[in-house]
Structure 1
Amino acid sequence: HYRQALEEMPDDPKALVSLGLALYELGLYDQSLQYYAQAVEVSPEDPLGFEKTSQLFELLGQNEQVITPALRASELYHKEGNIAKAVECLVRVNRADAENLPAHSRLALIYERTDRKQQAVTEFLIVASLMQHQGELENAKQAAEHALSIQPTSREAAEALSLIENGVSLPKPIPSREETFRVERESIPLSEPVTSREDEVSDLDPVAEAHKKALLALANLVFEQEAGDRKNDQVEFAREMQGIADGTPSVGFIRQGDPQIVFTHLQRAVINRGKVSEQEAAEELEKAVEAGLDHPAAYFDLGFIHSRGDRLESAVRYLERSLGAADYALAARIILARTMRFMGRLNEAATNYLEALRLADAQVVPKDQSADILRMYDPILEAESKQSDPQIKNKLCDLIEDMLFRPGWQQHLAQARGDYQIDIDGAPSIPVGEVLTNPQGYRIVESVRTINQYARSGHMRSAMEEAYFAIQFAPTYLPLHTYMGELLLKQEHLKEAIEKFGAIAQTYRARGETLHAIKVLQRLLKAAPMDLNARMQLIALQEEKGQYNEAIQEKVNLAGVYYNLADLNRAREAYLDAYQLAQNTGTNRELTVNILHHLADIELQSLDWKHAVEIYEQIRSVKPDDYQATEKLIELKLRLGQDQQAQIEVNDYLSFMEISGEDELVLTYLEKLVDEYPERIFIRRKKAELHLKDGQIEAAIQEYDAIGELLLDVGDREGAKQAIRAILDLDPPDKVEYQELINKLDGEE
């Protein structure tokens, strides 16, 4: 079954892995290895192929070959959050090579992060031993000290440190063929706590969570680089490895300068953390940055430490440099806001708090809404920047601080969103910041809760009355008006709803809040797609905001409305307008081609075939492999009597299909052409040639026979005789009859 699947799709990774597994279970390890090797090439980001490859090499006794695929499998499993599998692969490396420093270093880090202290101590001491035997005594000492810091009561770690300090060699690790992963699988969580998914609730506040990630990332930089430098045959692997904590590559983070100086200071900052003060650790980390270290974890850590001391300007500078990293941006904004507020820079503090809320808000909504939520904060930030009342600014800072700076902040923010949003299908998603920045925010929340209660129980009129009541104390809060529009739609008052949405869009536009106006117009058009005025307003706003792809699509939609109204002239104008904008803005090719197809279709319906030919040729110049355009060109040239040009097009098209490996389509297309244009001799001749090429003699004879009859009908006796001679060359069963026909034609001449 799997072999058959591979014959049809030789690069199907699932089929390769399945066949590899089947052969593995049959004990055919060499054959199994071949298919897993293919699977690795086809699907290099799937850890299973690498894992099975390393297992097979181990079974075959080829220990040197085990290491690279096992390390790669460990890396990929770690990316997926499958820590148990990652450890299993690292243990396999150590069975094959007990002195493999990259594997021991990674195991040490993973055990430490998953709170397996005894295993972490053991691995760090192995790292110390290997470094000592390589002559790197200082690094060996630091590794032993780190093991002791993990478990201060460890006699083993204390003795190892004493031996190193006294110049006595530690024993090297002993290979163990009996080592298994059964105990580890039971004791290590399947995913690492610090890399929780967005939909999980963290037990840390965002600052503590980000700081933990930063410390892990810095530790990972140290140990990954050491591991990569110790084993020449693992340098390639070390360079490919992604940072365990935050997905940052393990190389490329040194801007300039001497890498050794960078790592010396980085090691001191990481290994001695917990033994020295934060400020001393920061001094070493700062020296690493000055020497060329360029990594967001370092910037965030320095900003975090300095914000707790007296170097606040330095804290601001470092935190701003960490904003580009998703793992630290939210926490950096919060610390920046606090620091600015402490420094008396209230305007900047409020802005940073709102930026933090923007990032947090986008994380708790469905992913398809995140980009919209991020954009919706632009007018909120702009309006807040114009606010001059320090009391209002301080209140906003307090509200956001309370909302975000807490364990389980995601759940708290999601609950707040539930309080602020109208629970009606189709109702727009409103940024939390829009409510918090409104002076009547708390009263709005209470009204929204009441509206939701009425709406859920089907009492739409009561919900509308509550909305009217809320507008009395918050008349300029436009989301309430938007909710009223949704309630009108629920009550099937379409005209009133459209008028409401239109008025809201105009108000947003007058305020300069273009993005909000766009969202409202899109909602209006969802309810009333034939509203031409609203669509043209939407297009104008999208162009104004530089949303060119969206504007082009709306122009296409507008043309579609005209087309459905049978107004071909206006449809043509709208498509041409869309095409012009696409040309001017360099939009994607597919959208341009789609517009041209619509234009060509209008010309066909207008019976302007020559203009349609020009458009299809234009499509071909943009997209040479557009089969639809080519077939339309052939059809139009045949209709226009341009047989010679049509013949060239047909020949080129058939050649293109053959080159593209689509031979089966050639005969299908020729049969279609013969059905539509049975009198076109060159098409039948092409079909006959194809039958001959495929060895279908009888079918070829039938085509030549039809060609001969067509030529006789138009009086072309010589052409007819050539067709008959072609039949005779194929030795047909009724050869005598064809010969008599030729003789008859010769006699008539």
Structure 2
Amino acid sequence: MAGNRQRFEQALQRANELIWENKWPDAVDAYRKALLEFPEDSAALTGYAWALFNAGDLQAAAEIYERLLTLLPKDPGSRERLGEILAQQGQREAAADRYVEAAALYQAQRLPERHITALENAVRLNPRLDRAWAELLKRYQEQGLLDKALRATLWLAHLYQAEHLHWAIEVCRQMQRFAPNNRLLSHTMLLLQSGRPVPIPPSTSDLQGDAFLSDEEVEPEPVSDAGSVTEIARQRALESLAESIFDEERPETPGLSSEEVSLLIGQAVDAQTRGDLETALSAYERLAAAGVTLPSIYFNLGLLYKEQMRFDDAIAQLERSLADPEFMLGSHFALGECYQAKGDFEAALNHFLEAIKVIDLTTVQRDHVDDLIRVYEGLAQNLVNTGEPERVESLVNSLVGFLGQRGWEEEVLKARKRLDSLARSGTVLSLAEILSLPGSENVLHSVALAQEYMRRKKTYAALEELSYAIGKAPYYLPLHTILAQLHIESGNLEGAIEKMRLIAQVYEMRGQIPQALATYQQILELSPLDFTIYTRIIEIFIQRGQIDDALGYYLELADAYYQLAQPERAQETYAEALRLAPRGTADKRWNIRILHRMADLAIQRLDWKNAIKYYQDITRLAPDDERAHLGLMRLYPRIGRPQLAISALDQLLKHYLTTQRGEKAAVILEDLVHEQPESIPLRFRAAQLYLNMGDRQKALEHLDVLGDLQLEAGQQEEAVKTLEAIIALKPANLSAYVSLRDQLIGRSK
């Protein structure tokens, strides 16, 4: 028997609200009420299981997830959550099996990152899953993750050796194609081929680490820094120095001959390449003392001082190489390491942030560069303002680990791709900030899955993944922004706006103003008549000296007031903007634009006098403003002063004629004559203008009509003058005009 749909929906909505508020026990009760109506509803069961899990009732949550395996056989999320619960209960192998099942479903759904994460969770719980390791090895090799691929290879060799020795040898041989010179891999091959046991590889808790062999078997291979930021810059410096030996345009050195400089550079490069650092250092010091000014010498000398722990000397040299764009990145990184070693984490952080900024700027679109620079400025200022040395030290360590790893360039591109998918339209996120998060890789994986669920309209599944990510990184605000988006998609617009308002305020407190502004602007997209948001945006722009942006929002705010039938507030807003206008960019003519808006508003309110006042102000500031002059022409008759209308027109015509723009004046007059064809003053001015311009035919056309209008109006004397002007132009029917003139003169006598 079907349940009551209304009671079900009400209970579900209440449960949803309680989840937003993190009131998990109450959410459990609400879900139970919903399930009384429809016990097999999968969405309600998913939410119920998640609420039980967060309320701490793991056993009950596990039972519900078991039910969901039947109801939702293609849902990997239920299997992952069940695996997490089983792991917490100590059932590691059963948990691993659930993760393997989830991985297969993720693969079918073409979600490769989640597929890998699920497999990694499986082997972390049960490292003897050879099929999971084999799949991971394939994925790692495809993505170029050599360290992880090596780990998978070693585990497979260990697992295969007893029953499938030839498999173990083959998997190692295939891995050697990717890492042909790896000592650990070569030693493992020797062990397998000689029938000696391969020891258990290292812990799988983080799927990272150093060597896996015990000290009794073989000494671990040190992690090479080839490809790290420092190594790339060092190699570039060596190449530059080698090329300089043959540079005939090298600057003169007072203390050494050109041959001596070349000899010392050759000695330094050779010694440093061979690892003879003392000889290299001595040669570089002689070159620097003699006044050889090559950034590559400063950089290498700084690196050598750093390796000898002479950090002050290293800093002095690296600051000299910092000015050269070719060594900017490496110098910032090495300077950060020096300050880190000295315990000055704030100075270290500044240099590491500059280093990651240099890298990050190469990954974003050109129109986002300025925004990203401001993001880094706000991030650095926020870290200084918070006064949290632990956070600064943590971020320093994260940046060192990231930039010091092999293959960091590839990781940068991957991270940027994920950040861009996380960023809202029109905003840009910094690489440094995501690197500062503990478990950033897992956080981004969960976010990607949450976004995928949102695209598929699976709100509860998206909320579950997003809650997991926020639990891992509660202070990373972009996650909360996605939560606000989830509010919007679930119809809770008010909750979304309030959430985004809080996000913007936190960004402000952190000094991350571009993100705060972007969030406020997103609120306006949802609530375009929110006056408090307009006001705050204007205040921020004024504080930052972005006056043009502030004035633009003043105009939008005035429009919002007008839409809500509050013309007085709109007028006040325009007045405030007008007071600020002198600080804006002169080319944008803000005062003219605002006065036009004020005149338009006055006209709509039938306030002719104020509209005239605003137009008069405009004509004083911009004598060529056609719209203002024409506005005055149309408004003066409405206040009983029609004579001033023609005066306003004359001012505009005079300005055009004195600036050699007679054609523009003609266009205006023709338009006006078209609107008022029987206007004697307009016809007179049109004829006069064409006479001045030498256009005889056009002048005759207007004079002919002007004469008729004057006769109809009883202006006989003026008509005679017009006829004389026509006769002076010698039209084709001259005798007719002469006869008419004579008749008019005869009548007047």
TM-score by length of 1: 0.58
Cα distance in 2, alignment partners of residues 320 and 306 from structure 1: 13
RMSD: 4.1
Per-residue displacement from partner, 1:318-362 (whole Å, max 9, x unpaired)?
544565665544332211111212334334223322332233333
Q: Look up the match of 1:349.
A: 348
Cα distance in 2, alignment partners of residues 216 and 648 from structure 1: 75
Q: Look up the match of 2:380.
A: 381
C-alpha spacing 1:606/1:285, structure 2 compared with 1 (3 Å): farther
Q: Look up the match of 1:646.
A: 648
> What SS is found at the alignment partner of 2:660?
helix
Cα distance in 2, alignment partners of residues 585 and 708 from structure 1: 51
Q: Look up the match of 2:339.
A: 340
Deviates more, 1:691-700 or 1:209-218: 209-218
Q: Look up the match of 2:113.
A: none
Q: Look up the match of 1:539.
A: 538
Structure 2 counterparts to residues 415-426 of structure 1, below 5 A = 415-419=414-418, 423=422, 426=425
Q: Is the 8 A contact 1:559 1:574 kept in 2?
A: yes
Cα distance in 1, alignment partners of residues 742 and 245 from structure 2: 95
> What SS is found at the alignment partner of 2:732?
coil
Cα distance in 2, alignment partners of residues 225 and 627 from structure 1: 66
> What SS is found at the alignment partner of 1:464?
helix
Q: CA deviation at 1:675?
A: 1.8
Does 2:732 match 1:740?
no
Q: CA deviation at 1:671?
A: 0.7
C-alpha spacing 1:596/1:344, structure 2 compared with 1 (3 Å): same
Residue 654 of structure 1 aligns with an amino acid whose one-letter code is: Y
Cα distance in 2, alignment partners of residues 486 and 733 from structure 1: 78
Q: Look up the match of 1:479.
A: 478
Cα distance in 2, alignment partners of residues 215 and 621 from structure 1: 67
C-alpha spacing 1:689/1:358, structure 2 compared with 1 (3 Å): same
Q: Is the 8 A contact 2:284 2:297 kept in 1?
A: no
Q: Is the 8 A contact 2:686 2:702 kept in 1?
A: yes
Q: CA deviation at 1:600?
A: 2.7
Q: Look up the match of 2:164.
A: none
Q: Is the 8 A contact 1:687 1:703 kept in 2?
A: yes
Residue 331 of structure 1 aligns with an amino acid whose one-letter code is: G
Cα distance in 2, alignment partners of residues 323 and 270 from structure 1: 24
Q: Look up the match of 2:729.
A: 730
> What SS is found at the alignment partner of 1:274?
helix
Q: Is the 8 A contact 1:403 1:409 kept in 2?
A: yes
Structure 2 counterparts to residues 693-708 of structure 1, below 5 A = 696-708=695-707
Q: Look up the match of 2:142.
A: none
Q: Look up the match of 1:501.
A: 500
Per-residue displacement from partner, 1:577-606 (whole Å, max 9, x unpaired)?
122223246665434433233223223333
Per-residue displacement from partner, 1:644-663 (whole Å, max 9, x unpaired)?
6325313323325635xxx6
Q: Is the 8 A contact 1:578 1:595 kept in 2?
A: yes
Residue 403 of structure 2 aligns with an amino acid whose one-letter code is: L
Cα distance in 1, alignment partners of residues 627 and 239 from structure 2: 55
Gaps of 5+ in 2: 1-225, 270-279
Structure 2 counterparts to residues 17-32 of structure 1, below 5 A = none
Q: Is the 8 A contact 1:282 1:305 kept in 2?
A: no
Q: Is the 8 A contact 2:423 2:429 kept in 1?
A: no
Cα distance in 1, alignment partners of residues 299 and 712 from structure 2: 88
Q: CA deviation at 1:724?
A: 0.3
Does 2:447 match 1:452?
no
Cα distance in 2, alignment partners of residues 603 and 217 from structure 1: 70
Does 2:598 match 1:596?
no
Cα distance in 1, alignment partners of residues 611 and 695 from structure 2: 38
Residue 265 of structure 2 aligns with an amino acid whose one-letter code is: R
Structure 2 counterparts to residues 424-463 of structure 1, below 5 A = 426=425, 429-439=428-438, 441=440, 443-463=442-462
Cα distance in 1, alignment partners of residues 663 and 243 from structure 2: 55
Per-residue displacement from partner, 1:554-599 (whole Å, max 9, x unpaired)?
1121112123334322222112212222324666543443323322
Per-residue displacement from partner, 1:219-270 (whole Å, max 9, x unpaired)?
999999959xxxxxxxxxxxxxxxxxxxxxxxxxxxxxxx966898899767
Per-residue displacement from partner, 1:34-79 (whole Å, max 9, x unpaired)?
xxxxxxxxxxxxxxxxxxxxxxxxxxxxxxxxxxxxxxxxxxxxxx
Q: CA deviation at 1:473?
A: 4.8
Q: CA deviation at 1:364?
A: 1.6
C-alpha spacing 1:208/1:636, structure 2 compared with 1 (3 Å): farther
C-alpha spacing 1:391/1:633, structure 2 compared with 1 (3 Å): closer
Structure 2 counterparts to residues 319-718 of structure 1, below 5 A = 319-320=318-319, 323=322, 327-385=326-384, 395-405=394-404, 409-419=408-418, 423=422, 426=425, 429-439=428-438, 441=440, 443-510=442-509, 513-584=512-583, 589-620=588-619, 622-623=621-622, 626-633=625-632, 636=635, 640-641=641-642, 642-643=644-645, 645-655=647-657, 658-659=660-661, 664-692=663-691, 696-718=695-717
C-alpha spacing 1:398/1:593, structure 2 compared with 1 (3 Å): same
Cα distance in 2, alignment partners of residues 419 and 461 from structure 1: 22
Per-residue displacement from partner, 1:590-628 (whole Å, max 9, x unpaired)?
344332332232233334444444434544555555454
Structure 2 counterparts to residues 22-421 of structure 1, below 5 A = 205-207=228-230, 226=249, 273-276=265-268, 279=281, 280-281=283-284, 283-285=286-288, 287-288=290-291, 303=302, 306-307=305-306, 312-320=311-319, 323=322, 327-385=326-384, 395-405=394-404, 409-419=408-418
Q: CA deviation at 1:703?
A: 0.7
C-alpha spacing 1:565/1:386, structure 2 compared with 1 (3 Å): closer
Residue 734 of structure 2 aligns with an amino acid whose one-letter code is: K
Cα distance in 2, alignment partners of residues 220 and 669 from structure 1: 70
Cα distance in 1, alignment partners of residues 557 and 255 from structure 2: 61
Gaps of 5+ in 1: 1-202, 228-258
C-alpha spacing 1:461/1:636, structure 2 compared with 1 (3 Å): same
C-alpha spacing 1:476/1:345, structure 2 compared with 1 (3 Å): closer
Residue 274 of structure 1 aligns with an amino acid whose one-letter code is: G
Q: Is the 8 A contact 2:398 2:436 kept in 1?
A: no
Q: Look up the match of 1:176.
A: none
Q: Is the 8 A contact 1:269 1:281 kept in 2?
A: no
Q: Is the 8 A contact 1:303 1:319 kept in 2?
A: yes
Q: CA deviation at 1:525?
A: 1.4
Higher radius of gyration, 1 or 2: 2
C-alpha spacing 1:285/1:697, structure 2 compared with 1 (3 Å): same
TM-score by length of 2: 0.58
C-alpha spacing 1:554/1:717, structure 2 compared with 1 (3 Å): same
C-alpha spacing 1:604/1:526, structure 2 compared with 1 (3 Å): same
C-alpha spacing 1:497/1:386, structure 2 compared with 1 (3 Å): closer
C-alpha spacing 1:212/1:743, structure 2 compared with 1 (3 Å): farther
Q: Is the 8 A contact 1:562 1:571 kept in 2?
A: yes
Q: Look up the match of 1:38.
A: none
Cα distance in 1, alignment partners of residues 584 and 666 from structure 2: 41
Identify the structure with bigger relative contact order (alpha carbons < 8 Å, sequence gap 6+). Answer: 1
C-alpha spacing 1:507/1:226, structure 2 compared with 1 (3 Å): closer
Give the share of equivalent positions with the same residue, in percent: 29
Residue 415 of structure 2 aligns with an amino acid whose one-letter code is: A
Cα distance in 1, alignment partners of residues 541 and 713 from structure 2: 61
Per-residue displacement from partner, 1:107-134 (whole Å, max 9, x unpaired)?
xxxxxxxxxxxxxxxxxxxxxxxxxxxx
